[in-house]
Amino acid sequence: MREMLALLRPVIADGADLDGAQAIAAVFAEAAFSTLVEPGDTDAVALLTALGARRTLRAVALAESGECVHERILRSEAHDPALSAERVDRALQRWRTRLGQDSPARALHRAHLLRATLVLPGSPFWPSGLDSLEHGRPLALWVRGDPSLLSGLHRSVSFVGSRTATGYGTHVALESSAGLSDRGFAIVYGGALGIDAAAHRAAIASHRLTVCFLAGGADRLYPAANTELLSRILASGLILAELPPGSAPTRWRFLMRNRLIAAVSQATVVIEAGRRSGSLNTAGHAAQLGRPLGAVPGPVTSPESAGCHRLIREYAATCVTSAEEMAELADPFTVAGSDPVTEPDDTRILRELSRTAPRSRIDVAARTGIEPAELSAALGRMSALGLVIESAGGWRAVQR
């Protein structure tokens, strides 16, 4: 137990319960699981929710059968009905293979050498937007930079776009990022060349928070051509990864990383994207989560803008042409010509409401954790302000 504590204490974020042997073992098990699973492994969250990290890790280490573990899951009030014994068995075997390849202790040691911080769900630093991914949420965040800056994600916009940006796209990214930074928004991106890099250079120049999600470990500054930019982000911003230090970026991990960018941001804006651009993957995650999605139009003759035009035409993305319009997209609780809504409940509600797909009152209550009576009062107040509207299918944010 002393060895576990020695590994955890230098890297675990403040607020984690390390008081007593059971608490230390539970936190170590959570940290361990983040080294065993691939991004987006819904089986992992389902098992940890039903059994807890300690019991699940024990089942992996002791090579317990899926049938035996499934019986215990069925006795849990939090079990997922979709988890069959066969599915549990496949998951346990998958993680058991990883347990033999790289130990959690080595990952924690690497994090210590990197001066990284491990933030787990339930931590006061944990970005609440990640919980909207439900069973697809990450098991942990490995953070380089001051973890207290994660609170800045409550007001943030993600920029995605072509890695081979045109002069037009670069100009829009620079101007838009600077304008949003001046309005107090954090800028989120994935570290790519082109549009991503331009947006973050502008945010850094504006001395505002810039946050980068990597597809590998937080020590793998990728692509190499952006090493200098990523190092500058570290000086005043954050570099985040759901995979432990030492993990290599892969195509699958890039695609799954995009869901984190969409989940933590109040809005996602696409600036230049070809018809098959990877940026459309991030846009898809944002739309699926009900987050506001914006697209910047470009010349109709430019293939680099074809994806943006398709998002506007076929997927109801909002056409945005300036930082002001992007701020309005991301901040629907600001009513034109009035003061922003300051009620905390209003902010939480609007984060979970879609502008296109209505959500029932029960769904909104479950997503926000707001008591039914308080939710009714908040929705009534917000409806009077023109922020939300009720329809036959439920409530949605007003498209302005």
Percent of the chain at pLDDT > 70 equals: 95
Q: What is the mean pLDDT of residues 195-221?
A: 94
| 160 and 43 share one domain | no
In this structure, is residue 85 part of a structural domain? yes
Band of residue 332 on the pLDDT scale cut at 50, 70, 90: low
Q: What is the pLDDT of residues 215-261, one digit of tens each?
A: 999 999 999 999 999 999 998 899 999 999 999 999 999 999 999 99
The CATH code of the domain that includes 354 is 1.10.10.10
User: Within this chain, do residues 312 and 363 fall inside the same structural domain, yes or no?
Assistant: no
Looking at every residue in the chain, the average pLDDT score rounds to: 90
Both 255 and 389 in a single domain?
no
- Residue 117 sits at the vertex; the CA angle it makes with 111 and 118, to the nearest 5 degrees, is 90
Q: Are residues 146 and 13 in the same domain?
A: no
- Alpha-carbon torsion 122, 352, 152, 165, what sign? positive
Residue 321 and residue 353 share a domain: no
Helix axis angle, 53-61 to 42-51, nearest 10° = 110
Looking at the domain assignment, is residue 116 inside a domain?
A: no
Q: How many CB atoms lie within 10 A of CB 244?
A: 26
205 pLDDT higher than 70 = yes
Query: Higher-confidence residue: 175 or 390?
Result: 175
In a domain, residue 110? The reply is: no
Average pLDDT, integer, range 339-366: 77
Q: What pLDDT is stored for residue 176 in this prediction?
A: 96
Residues 257 and 153 in one domain: yes
- In a domain, residue 42? The reply is yes
Question: Is 389 among the domain residues?
Answer: yes
Q: Is the pLDDT of residue 377 over 70?
A: yes
Between CA 265 and CA 140 the distance in angstroms is: 18
**Pair 218, 258 in one domain:** yes
Last residue of a domain, one of 103, 120, 152: 103
The pLDDT tens digits for 22-43 are 888 889 999 999 999 999 999 9
d(C-alpha 294, C-alpha 317), whole Å: 5
Is residue 119 a part of any domain in this protein?
Answer: no
The rounded distance, in Å, linking the Cα atoms of 217 and 377 is 44
Q: Report if pTM > 0.75.
A: yes
Are 29 and 168 contained in the same domain?
no
**Same domain, residue pair 325 and 349:** no
Distance CA(193)–CA(333), nearest Å, equals 33
Q: How far apart are CA 112 and CA 200, in angstroms?
A: 27
Domain hosting residue 247, numbered range: 128-330
- How far lies 164's CA from each of 271, 273, 277, 304, 372, in Å? 11, 9, 11, 8, 49
Of the candidates 300, 330, 360, which is a domain's last residue?
330
Same domain, 294 and 158: yes
Cβ neighbours of residue 75 closer than 8 Å, sequence gap 6 or more? none
Total length of the chain: 400
Distance CA 368, CA 385 (A): 20
- Overall domain count for the chain: 3
| Domain match, 362 and 287 both | no
Rounded CA-CA distance 351/267 in Å is 9
Cβ distance 225 to 197 under 8 Å? Answer: no
> In this structure, are 177 and 150 located in the same domain?
yes
